[in-house]
A = this chain, B = another copy of it.
Amino acid sequence: MAAPDTVVNLDDKLARIDEHWSPMIVGQINDLHVKLAKVEGEFVWHSHPDTDEFFLVRSGRLVIEMRGRDAVTIGPGEFFVVPRGVEHRPVADRECHLLLLEPAGVVNTGDAPESGLTAGQEWI
C-alpha cells in the first residue's frame, strides 16, 4: 500500500502497471479510491448500480459506449462521469492511461459475471 501523506506522481505509478484493464489503487479520499489503469481493446458491458464512475484520461483516447445513449470519446485532459446504473463498455483502440475514481470495494466489472477482466483491490 502506498503511504498516505505522499505526493503521487501519476506517470511514475503508471510505469509500474503492466497489465491492461487492471486498475491499481494509488490514493483515497474519504471512501473513494483513486485508481490508475492502462487499457487497450474492449472491456465488458457492465454497470455499477450504486455508484457513479469517473474517468480522466491521462494519455490516449477512451470511448465509452453506453446502452441507449450516444458513446462519448475522452481525450487527454478530459473526464467523463458514467452515472450510476448506466450500462457501459469502455473501448480503446490503442493503449490509453486513465485515472478512475470509485468507492472502495467497487469491482471493475460491476454487475458483469466475474472473469479474467475482474481486477483485485491492490495498492501500488
Contact = CB atoms under 8 A, between A and B. Distances in A.
B10 A81 contact: no
Contacts of A52: 28-30
Number of copies: 2
| Interface range, A side | 20 to 34
Contact of A54 (B27, B51, B80): B27
Contacts of A34: 54, 79, 81
Contact of A29 (B54, B69, B74): B54
Interface string A74-96: 11011111011000000000000
Contacts of A81: 4, 27-29, 34
Interface string A19-43: 0000000011110101000000000
